[in-house]
Amino acid sequence: MPRSRRFAAVAVLALLGALALTGCGRAQPDVAAYVGNTRYTERQLDDLVDEYGKARPEARPAEPRPVALINLIIRDLARRAGEEHGIEIEPGPAEYNEIARATGLPADSKLVRMLTEVSAAVEALTASAEATAPTEDDVREIWDVLRRDPAFDPDVTYERVAELLRSNPASAAAAFGTRKLLREQAAKTEVVVNPVYRPLIAYARFGDTQIPMLLGEDADFVADVASG
């Protein structure tokens, strides 16, 4: 992925498709999500949302809390996948400075660090993943997710979506390869999301195509992952 596209990729996540998140047990309202034994709290989201408010207007998402949570989850899964597959994913000072310039925030701010790290992790996975051409089932899955987004244009047809996905086969294959690594990691790492944030729909941009990713569908919420 060219460096000039890195920040845009962070904002929409460079992966696609549905990622199953599961759980069981009793709820804990101050927790936004778990990834394995790692707990992401509402307080952490508060801090990131506060920094989104200080960012340049073009860097601020309309709904910052779910965007922040999505990035935290993807960063975690991508790091785990990178460690398992021996993929170097840590960004250098130049990457932090690049995102700092794009957001107008200090390079050591929590938001800049998170965005830089998730970008570097997903970019590294995409560069290392085995390209996987999307199947008809993949295309259908994407279509089903798109239709659940209230902002989706009802005049866009399945055929149009399929055409867009197939218009750049190299980019699509790289993206689906990245999804495969992340889904495999998610299957090994129990992930649960507070129902307040479900469903989470993120978008990846590949050329002129935006591809959705659904997080947290049909999952319960737990206070203690070990109790499940």
Average pLDDT of the residues in 107-122: 94
Residue 131 has pLDDT above 50, yes or no: yes
Q: Return the higher-pLDDT residue of 10 and 151.
A: 151
Cis peptide before 61 (omega within 30 of 0): no
pLDDT value, residue 18: 46
Predicted confidence band of residue 216 (pLDDT cuts 50, 70, 90): low
How confident is the model over 8-29, as pLDDT tens digits?
Answer: 333 333 344 445 444 443 356 7
Residue 122 has pLDDT above 70, yes or no: yes
Domains in the chain, ordered, with CATH? 3-227 (1.10.4030)
pLDDT value, residue 22: 47
